[in-house]
Every structure is written in structure tokens, then in C-alpha cells.
Amino acid sequence: MIKGKVIFGSILFLVLFSTSCKPVEDDLLDRPYNLVLPAGFPTMSIPADNQLTEVRIELGKMLFFDKALSRDSSVSCGSCHLQSHAFSDVVNISSGIEGRKGMRNSPPLFNLGYHPYFFFDGGVPTLELQVLAPVQDVNEMDHEFPFAVQRLAQNPAYQKMAQIAYKRDFDAFVLTRAIGAFERTLVSGNSTYDKYNNGNSSALNESAKRGLALFTSERLSCSGCHSGFNFTDYSFQNNGLYLQYPDSGRMRVTTLPEDRDKFKVPSLRNIALTAPYMHDGSIATLPEVVEHYNNGGAANPNKDPRIKPLTLTSQEKSDLLEFLYSLTDNDFITNPDYAP
């Protein structure tokens, strides 16, 4: 599969740069892309106007790593979404152009095709629309989208790939669809836990197995929100991080007081790779996160009642961490298909 993509990419590169004086033959290269999903994963719904093809994905990947998206060409999507960290960042708040800082932690990117909405407040309903936000955000790329499109459209390779993939000139539609297509291929489901879950009973050590039992226990209720194959129910919850939040979270979108200080429950897949933690990156390490839940959090009025002191023993904390470490998918972070 990987070898095939490398060969395909090489052929595509040669063709694009050897046919610059010839008219583009629209049907020459593009082929449907078969997204292989891990065992146990449900079917992924893919928009009718953005079915996966090889050129769409390749174009999306090139755009994902292209700094020309930002106003001063200093940052790309890949600047704050590092493959080695499951496409998250290593700092609490990533730097946009000119070192500008927003207010939220850069989320990891995987299994995005299953998300019903995006961002910590869930304000954006599709992967394609999500592309607009970081480009225009003054603290990220600070680029008026039409100007970003205009700049990228000057790239002959992008124009050719747009014609092949979407049968149209490079425009906002192509830019949002192509990045959406690439991001939809970022699928992670081959962790040690997955191997265990798929029948290899020796994949998890005894400590991790005890941690799994704790994780799913009624006493801890972790799996109440971090549920399902993606370890999230995509709900909005307050976990008692603060008594008073500077960021109102979901309420920013709904204006409802009951949504104040609530944030989308993140997936726990690859959690060992995505420090720092929480919506604002305020907790540096995974043991500190476990300690936060063990203490029961601050008495925020919207805190979920399941967040309460747990009185975990040292052994239990260690077991829980061992289970969380088993959610790391090393194949995902080394997959050359996702690299620039």
C-alpha cells in the first residue's frame, strides 16, 4: 500500500512537470482511493462532493504542509500539527504568524471523518468548513481566504491537480475539499490496545489490563464520556479544570448558560503523544491529568457530576497510565503517506 503510493506520487510528479506545455487530460491520473479502516471501525461517511481519490488526497497533503496558506508564508497546518505527536503540538498554545498566540491547545488530527463537528466548542459542522478557520484566524494564519486562494492558484502544480481532481480551476472549493480529503485519510487504529481488542490477549500486559478495567468501571466512569472505538462520545463537558474559565467553550457557539465552560470530549487515542493536555494545554503531563481527575477538579457550577474524588491508589494510577500508554499507534506516527 505504502509502496504503491510512493510509486503513484513519483509518477504524478513526473507527469505534472513534464506536461506543463500540454493541455491537462482530466481523466489521465485520478483514481478512487480505497480507505482501509482498522478492524472494528465503523464505515466512514464521506461527502458526495468530496469522495476520496488519489490526486485529491495528494493535493490536500501538499496544501496541508504549504506555508503559503498563511499571510506571511511562515506557518502551515503542519507547523502546529506534528505527525510525531499524532498531529498535535508540543506546546500549550501554538504560535501563529509573528508568534501570535490564540487561547486553545492544538488538537491531534486522526479519525476526523467520524467527528460530528470540529473545534473544542463544536462550532463547525464539516471537515471542509473547518479548513477556513485557521487560515482566517488572526492568531493563526491571519490570511483572508480569497487572498490565500489567489496566491496558491499561482502554483501550476496546484492548478493541474485541481483540474484532474475536481475538474475546475483551483479555488476555495478545491482548497477546502482537498485538505478535507487528506485529513480524512488520517486514520489511527493500530495501537497495542487495538491488537488486544482484536483478539491478541497477550498484547496488553497485566497492569494495562487492570487499567482497562478501572477505565471502564462505574467507579471511575472514564468510559462514560471517552466511549466507543474512538474513545469519545463527542459531547461537551466541564471537567472541573477551573472554578472560572477565561474561555466560555461551547457557550461561545450556543450562548446558553448551561454550556458555559464546556468543551468537546477529546479522543484518548495516542494520548501519550499529545501533551500538554486540556483545551488550553494547561496540564503538562499524563500523570498530572490522572491526578486532576483523582482530586475531583474545581467546583465549577457546570462540572459533570461524574467528576469527583476517586481515591486512587498508587498502583491504580500506575495501571491506569499503563492502559493509556497502550493507546499509542506507532504505525500512525511513522506512516510515510502522511509525511510531507
Partner 1 sequence: MRYLRLFIPALLLVVMSSSCEKDPEIGTTTFTLAVHPKIASQDLVLGQEYLDQESYRLMPSTLRFYVSHVTLTSANGDTEIRDIALLDMEQVEAGEPLTFEVEVPAGDYTGISFWVGLDSLQNASDPATFVNGHPLSLSTGTFWTWNTGYRFVMLEGYYDDVQNTPGPVSTSRFFNYHTGTAPLYKQAELGAANVAFTIAEGERFTYNLDLDVNKMFYGLENIDRAQGAVTHTTSNYALAQKFTENFVRAFSLSAP
| Residues in contact with partner 1 by the rule CB under 8 A | 47-49, 119, 121, 123-126, 128-129, 132-133, 135-137, 144-146, 149, 171-173, 175-177, 251-255
Nearer to partner 1, 57 or 131 (CB): 131
Nearer to partner 1, 8 or 173 (CB): 173
**Helix, coil or strand: residue 303:** strand
State the number of CA atoms in the 13 A half-sphere of 234 facing the CB.
Answer: 15
Q: Please report how close the Cβ of residue 154 comes to partner 1 at its closest, in angstroms.
A: 16
The DSSP annotation for 220-250 comes to T-HHHHS-TTTT----EEB--S-SS-SS-BT
Q: Please report how close the Cβ of residue 149 comes to partner 1 at its closest, in angstroms.
A: 8
Nearer to partner 1, 132 or 203 (CB): 132
Nearer to partner 1, 123 or 287 (CB): 123
Nearer to partner 1, 249 or 276 (CB): 249
Under DSSP, the state recorded for 262 is B
Q: Please report how close the Cβ of residue 296 comes to partner 1 at its closest, in angstroms.
A: 30
Q: Please report how close the Cβ of residue 157 comes to partner 1 at its closest, in angstroms.
A: 21
Measured CA to CA in angstroms, residue 189 lies from 38, 79, 328 at distances of 5, 24, 9
Q: Please report how close the Cβ of residue 133 comes to partner 1 at its closest, in angstroms.
A: 4
Task: Name the burial class of residue 12, with classes exposed (0-12), middle (13-18) and buried (19+) by CB atoms within 10 angstroms of its CB.
Answer: buried
- C-alpha grid cell for residue 267? 479522543
Nearer to partner 1, 56 or 269 (CB): 56
Q: Please report how close the Cβ of residue 123 comes to partner 1 at its closest, in angstroms.
A: 4
What are 48-53's contacts with CB under 8 Å, separation 24+? Answer: 49/177, 50/128, 50/177, 50/180, 50/181, 52/181, 52/184, 52/185, 53/165, 53/181
